Amino acid sequence: MSSERVFIIAGKRSAVAPRSGAFASLTYYDLAAQVVIDILKEAKIDKLEVDELIVSNALGAGGNPARMVSLEAKLNLAVGGISIDRQCCGGLDAISIGTDLIKSGRAEVVVAGGVESYSTRPIRLHPENSDKSLVSYDRPDFAPAGFNDPDLAEATAKLARKFGISKEEQDDWSINSHSNALKSKQILRSEITPILNQTNDLFTRKLSKKICEKAPKLSDTVTHANSAIAADAAGFVLLVSELFFKNKMCKGVEVLGSGTSGIIPEETPLAPVGAIQALLDQTKICLSKVAFIELMEAYAAQAIMCTRLCNLDLDKINIRGGALSRGHPIGASGAILVVRLFNELIKKPETFGMAAIAAAGGIGSAMMLKS
């Protein structure tokens, strides 16, 4: 049976740990399965009630990561799992796909989100030339010949110059992100599944201007201090149909819509702007009514540009800190934004919240929720 409305009734994540840190010994599927099991337990949903599992993963060895997670979490064997790779947007897009699956009537209960293990990602090789000698590479191409496909730090720095965003502004944004996260440690702990005794994000610190001044440069004004670090983490939400939600008589947050957009790859940091506009057009919700905004902070400059161009209210953005204070587990980052949003909205009835993120290749995704 199709469902016009879809609800999130649980949302959890792991702590975010820097690459080669606390979660270095865990496979991506072990990390993800523990969060999946936890959200089902919190929502009092039997594992056998789950119709589908959708998992975003960008750095794994391929295959079907979602099936690996499904088996590890001991879901119904009929849950084959759907794996997607839309890089940084993937975790949010997995939730969007899960929503559409329920609306179409194909499922009533879907677990959706993402996981990334920078620590255990495989070494990638490809033939460098016609003699087929194999060389390792760190990142794939995100655009074919005929398009510029710059390093994202370089692309961000170039746009920062264009928009007149100084290093000081970027550093201040990062300092504020860490400060908000530090002040919210106890609150954030409630949304984190304890794994290996980790109940808080491990990179969050008291960042200062002095530390920022000493941070190594990535490109021009973009430095290690105002860029999100590579990290390991998982984040998932539990999506249900309107009928299931009413029968369960539980609290929840409605998924009102999602928007995507594309832009030339060299302007990837600006991609959320189009996605946010598409989302607002679709949902017909005035931006002034949105109380909480989870905006991805892959780079401080990126967040600043999107805030300016979309005229976002600074007081509503990343009130518990953002990716600069946590880290960036590629395939999980978008899902973590939605988990964060859910855990803010569930406490405040009749409230709107929005999440937005960009991905390499010039992709933007956004989602609107209402409690």
pLDDT of 132 above 80: no
**For all residues of the chain together, what is the average pLDDT?**
95
Q: Check the CA dihedral 10-16-19-20 and report its sign.
A: negative
| CA distance linking residue 31 with residue 199, whole number of Å | 14
In-domain check, residue 37? yes
Asked if residue 151 is part of any domain, the answer here is no
Q: With bands split at pLDDT 50, 70 and 90, how would you rate the model's confidence at 216?
A: very high
Looking at residue 301, its amino acid is A
Range of the domain at 37: 6-122+227-370
Rounded CA-CA distance 278/257 in Å is 10
- DSSP letter at 140 equals -
Alpha-carbon distances of 161 from 57, 150, 166, 332, rounded to whole Å: 32, 16, 8, 29
Q: Which residues does residue 236 pair with via DSSP β-bridges, in sequence order?
A: 12, 113
Q: Which two tokens stand for residue 314?
A: 């600074």
Question: Residue 199 domain-assigned?
Answer: no
Name beta bridge partners: 259.
366
Query: Is 156 contained in some domain?
Result: no
In a domain, 176, yes or no: no
What is the rounded CA–CA span in Å between residue 105 and residue 102?
Answer: 5
| pLDDT at residue 141 in the model | 84
Q: 20 versus 61: which is more confidently predicted? A: 20
What is the pLDDT at residue 295? 98
pLDDT in tens, 65-107: 999 999 999 999 999 999 999 999 999 999 999 999 999 999 9
The pair of three-digit structure tokens given for residue 74, joined into one six-digit string = 């001991």
Q: Do the domain assignments include residue 157?
A: no
Q: Which 8-state DSSP code applies to residue 299?
A: B
Distance CA 22, CA 235 (A): 17
Assign residue 327 the CATH number of its domain. 3.40.47.10
What contacts 130, CB < 8 A, 6 or more positions away?
A: none
274 residue type, one letter = G
**What are the φ/ψ torsions at residue 329 (nearest 5 degrees)?**
-85, 90
Q: Based on the structure, what is the number of domains in the chain? A: 1
Q: Is 173 a member of any domain?
A: no
Residue 178 covered by a domain: no
